[in-house]
Amino acid sequence: MFSMFRNLVGSKTLTPEDLKPVLDKMKDHLIAKNVAADIAVKLCESVSAKLEGKVLGTFGSIASTVKTTLTEACVQILSPRRRVDILRDAMDARQNKRPYVITFCGVNGVGKSTNLAKTQVLRLLRLDSSVGRGLAPWPRGRGFEPQPSTVRAPTGWVDVCFWLVENGLSVLIAACDTFRSGAVEQLRTHVRKLNALHPPSKHQGREMVQLYERGYGKDSAGIAMEAIASARDYRIDVVLVDTAGRMQDNEPLMRALTKLVKVNQPDLVLFVGEALVGNEAVDQLTKFNRALADFSQQQPPRLIDGIILTKFDTIDDKVGAAVSMTYTTGQPIVFVGTGQTYSDLRNLNARAVVTSLLRA
């Protein structure tokens, strides 16, 4: 895409007029890569601001200046200013004899319930990697770092289980989607499968993953509260709260989510968004945060702490949603979902995403 800058050769000093046609093309490129239109405009403006007034010499320097400017702007947007270290924080919580609570929220069908189940496994994998097995080097794939499970021998799970016997962190999944048909059974199925992968026989008879459910139609904030209390009583280390999908403009449902967050004060509120989403990404995140702020009447409000970007396996190089979401919230993408099985969860590799983004 940088060949378009060729016609700038010879300009003495770059003016906004020089840059306009070129930046328009760049904007279109970003939009075609599924960056939300508003965000693409803002990115181009920032690149323009950085380049205006610069004196350019040969083609090489124009191309590299523009490329570096845009690349750096994107990498900066995608790089967390703050790291979310679930593992360390969960360990701390355990030391304080309280469960570590994560709430998953988002619009309908994005992958909340599935990735919540995955999170359980990823946590185990990360523990595993922290005991000494190295991560495979990136770049690999289109912007995520492989976790050990994908590069190790098939005995991987056994290793994880052994490791767990010594360190065992346990999980309670709170079924707080009390609306959508099959939501509870979906979680029950995940719990059964996860326990089959980590049988109690390997954990001193302890079920590592349990489900807290009260069926359908009940108040989700109340169920979450009971689940957390129960986790405290039974010394379960982590509570994962699954919530119903909801549209960002649906006020009653947004109020209900705010209530759940307000009364339970989870350690982490994760927004689950799919990489397939286009311009809506911006509106979804803005309005989830606004609802959490406006309806809670709490100072400071509990907002979204991080993002899980799902369905990354469906988009080829149209990686723009990652930029839209991080730009909108300033919060990190904590995990990337890359498929439907438990090991399909990765960490975001900002540079690899930017490479895909800028590739023609």
Ligand X SMILES: Nc1nc2c(ncn2[C@@H]2O[C@H](COP(=O)(O)OP(=O)(O)OP(=O)(O)O)[C@@H](O)[C@H]2O)c(=O)[nH]1
CB of 182 to ligand X, least distance (A): 8
- The helix/strand/coil state of 246 is coil
* 113 counts as binding Mg ion under rule CB under 5 A: yes
Nearest to 34 by CA among 248, 274, 290: 274
Cα distance between residue 12 and residue 33, in whole Å: 32
* 68 counts as binding ligand X under rule CB under 6 A: no
Which of other proteins, ligand X, Mg ion, none has residue 63 at its interface (CB below 5 to 8 Å by kind)?
none
- Residue span binding Mg ion (CB under 5 A) among the ranges 88-96, 106-114, 338-346, 347-355: 106-114
Residue among 7, 13, 68, 314 that touches ligand X (CB under 6 A): 314
Binding site for other proteins (CB under 8 A): 28, 31-34, 36-38, 107-111, 113-114, 117, 179-190, 193, 247-250, 274-281, 283-284, 287, 311, 313-316, 318, 320-321, 340
The neighbour count for residue 175, using CB atoms within 10 Å, is 27
Nearest to 350 by CA among 35, 80, 125: 80
CB of 358 to ligand X, least distance (A): 24
For 246, the token pair is 């909801």
* 112 counts as binding Mg ion under rule CB under 5 A: yes
Q: Which residue has the tokens 């010394």?
A: 235
Question: What's the CA dihedral at 273, 277, 282, 288 to 10 degrees?
Answer: -40
CB of 71 to other proteins, least distance (A): 21
> Closest CB to Mg ion among 48 and 113?
113
CB of 185 to Mg ion, least distance (A): 11
φ, ψ of residue 220 to 5 degrees: the values are -70, -35
Q: Which of residues 84-113 bind ligand X (CB under 6 A)?
A: 106, 108-113
> Closest CB to ligand X among 115 and 289?
115
Cβ(70)–Cβ(207) below 8 Å: no
Q: Which of residues 318-337 bind ligand X (CB under 6 A)?
A: 337
* 265 counts as binding ligand X under rule CB under 6 A: no
The helix (H) or strand (E) run that includes residue 241 is strand 238-243
Cβ(347)–Cβ(313) below 8 Å: no
For 190, the token pair is 């995940």
> Closest CB to other proteins among 118 and 302?
118
* 143 counts as binding ligand X under rule CB under 6 A: no
Residues 6+ apart with CB under 8 A from 250: none
Which of Mg ion, ligand X, other proteins, none has residue 294 at its interface (CB below 5 to 8 Å by kind)?
none
The neighbour count for residue 83, using CB atoms within 10 Å, is 9
Site residues for ligand X per CB under 6 A: 106, 108-115, 177, 180, 183, 244-245, 247, 272, 310-311, 313-314, 337-340, 344
